[in-house]
Amino acid sequence: MSLEHAILGFLNYHPYTGYDLKKIFDTSIRHFWSADQSQIYRTLTRLTERGFVEMEKVPQQDRPDRKVYHITEGGRGELLNWLAGPPPMDEPRSAPLVQVFFAGQLSDEQVLAKFEGFAALMRAFLAMYDQVPDQLGPYQEDISSPREHFFWLLTLENGLCSMRANLAWAESIVERIKAGKVPPK
Amino acid sequence: MSLEHAILGFLNYHPYTGYDLKKIFDTSIRHFWSADQSQIYRTLTRLTERGFVEMEKVPQQDRPDRKVYHITEGGRGELLNWLAGPPPMDEPRSAPLVQVFFAGQLSDEQVLAKFEGFAALMRAFLAMYDQVPDQLGPYQEDISSPREHFFWLLTLENGLCSMRANLAWAESIVERIKAGKVPPK
DNA sequence: ATATAATATAAGAAAGGTCCAATATGTCCC
DNA sequence: GGGACATATTGGACCTTTCTTATATTATAT
């Protein structure tokens, strides 16, 4: 679980409202982390209870007050502690691989279609990545120093590397299928 | 969500109890799918309600009855339908990448340690993979025809490909850090 | 003789996440 | 004037997952 840490990470650049955070998640880091709008508000409440963030009401004329959250000393400590700590290992959870594992229960034609589908999916991802801009979307001014931009590019690279590896994997399987190397039912 | 489909996939080979399934998950496909014991029992109940599986009580002397679940025609249909359908795309969710994205907030020494930590983690994964047996653990007899074994090797290959790609990524970053290419704070 | 691990199931509670709907207003365009 | 869209937050219902605890027996090790 690290929606909390992702929120703390952004609030450590700049104070934001729940609405701001939703937009930041939807634009900048959408390709490796997503967040439900309700969940962002609930997490902000939880972080407030724990003393990691504080809220300030900014009244506006004729529309609901903005609730601007800023990180506290305790929150900064929690964040830096988590960042400096050991890298969490991604718990494995891959619905596509479940399909691969059980693909033997399909007919040979269906198996071929399945893996061609995988390859197509990964090519589509790669095409998308080419369109991911160098920049971070709105709210850049707060975040995009050369240092932050450098680390942003590193996360993009990771996506590219993984997708290329997966594409090569899927393609090698398609070749093997066509070469008749799948044991029959 | 496809714990349901993973369970259906196994029950399509052979009828099992909840306990059997837990052991199968913990041994065979542990590296890309895990399942909590309570969750397996609850999911079996749900699958029964939907008519995808049926339960048969097998009394045992002096210990709780085994509840052996077997797949129904409806369940087989649901499974094959899902398998033949479009590959689900994994929703992106990567705690490690959240750390990369915010790593700029650490000191330069901490950044180096962070990425060396990533590389070490992936080397550890790769070392583990070498030890993953060719075989599927217990319950093999039910599952390991040459065809099933072929698909099992494919999922292992995927893990290897991804990990190698991630290792290369982490190592290239370590090199760049050592070459002084990280913009200062 | 006793402890423990393994076999086998299940219920309760809490945490996290998703979906949907409600509220309230401002702006922009047709 | 009406419709669509953006701003801004909140609440309810529900689902999934995890953690913990409980029960009961058998096999194995000390």
Instruction: List phi, psi (to 5°) of A131.
Output: -95, -10
**Secondary structure of residue A65 in the 3-state scheme:** strand
Q: Which residue of B has its CA nearest to A76?
A: B105
How distant is the Cα of A60 from the closest Cα of chain B, in angstroms? 32
Calculate the angstrom distance between C1' of C20 and CA of A36: 12
pLDDT digits (tens, 9 = 90+) for B153-182: 999 999 999 999 999 999 999 999 999 999
Tokens 């504080």: give the residue: A54
- The interface pTM score, or ipTM, of the predicted complex is 0.90
The end-to-end CA distance of chain B, in Å, is: 42
Q: Which nucleotides of C are covered by protein (CB under 7 A)?
A: 7-13, 15-21, 23-26
| B7, B43 contact by CB (below 8 A) | yes
B29: Cβ contacts below 8 Å, ≥ 6 apart: A98, A101, B6, B155
Q: How far is CA B43 from the centre of its chain?
A: 17
Residue A177 tokens read as 């299928």
CB pairs under 8 A between A and B: 203
Whose structure tokens read 């009394």? B59
Residue A64: what pLDDT? 66
- A5 lies within 8 A of chain B by CB: yes
pLDDT, tens only, A42-75: 999 999 999 999 999 887 665 667 899 999 999 9
A98 touches chain B (CB under 8 A): yes
A residues 124-163 lying closer than 8 A (beta carbon) to B: 145-152, 154-155, 157-158, 161-162
Strand B63-71 versus strand A63-71 pairing type: unpaired
Closest protein CA to C1' of nucleotide C6, residue = B19
Task: Give B68 to chain A, closest Cα distance, Å.
Answer: 21
Does at least one atom of strand C sit less than 7 Å from the CB of B41? yes
Rounded to whole angstroms, the distance from the CA of residue B38 to the C1' of nucleotide C13 is 13
Indicate yes or no: strand C within 7 A of the C-beta of A30. no
Partners of residue B66 on adjacent β-strands:
B58
Per-residue pLDDT tens listing for chain A (185 residues): 799 999 999 999 999 999 999 999 988 888 899 999 999 999 999 999 999 999 998 876 656 678 999 999 999 999 999 999 999 888 888 999 999 999 999 999 999 999 999 999 999 989 888 776 665 666 767 778 899 999 999 999 999 999 999 999 999 999 999 999 999 98
Burial class (CB in 10 A: 0-12, 13-18, 19+), A37: middle
Between the CA of B138 and the C1' of C21, what is the distance in angstroms?
Answer: 49
List b or e across B88-127, with b for residues whose CB sees 16 or more CB atoms inside 10 angstroms.
beeeeebbbbbbbbbbbbbeeeebbebbebbbebbeebee
Where are the domains positioned within chain B? 3-84, 95-178
B179 at A interface, C-beta within 8 A: no
Please, which pLDDT band fits residue B133 given cuts at 50, 70 and 90? low
Instruction: Look at the domain B3-84 and name its fold.
Output: Arc Repressor Mutant, subunit A (1.10.10)
Judging by DSSP bridges, how do beta strands B63-71 and B53-60 pair with one another?
A: antiparallel
Among B19, B121, B150, B118, CA closest to A83: B118
CA distance A32 to chain B (A): 4
CA neighbor of B111 nearest in space, from B183, B33, B40 = B183
Report pLDDT digits (tens) over B91-103: 888 999 999 999 9
Burial readout B50-69 (b: 16 or more C-beta within 10 A, e: otherwise): eebbbbeeeeeeeeeeebbb
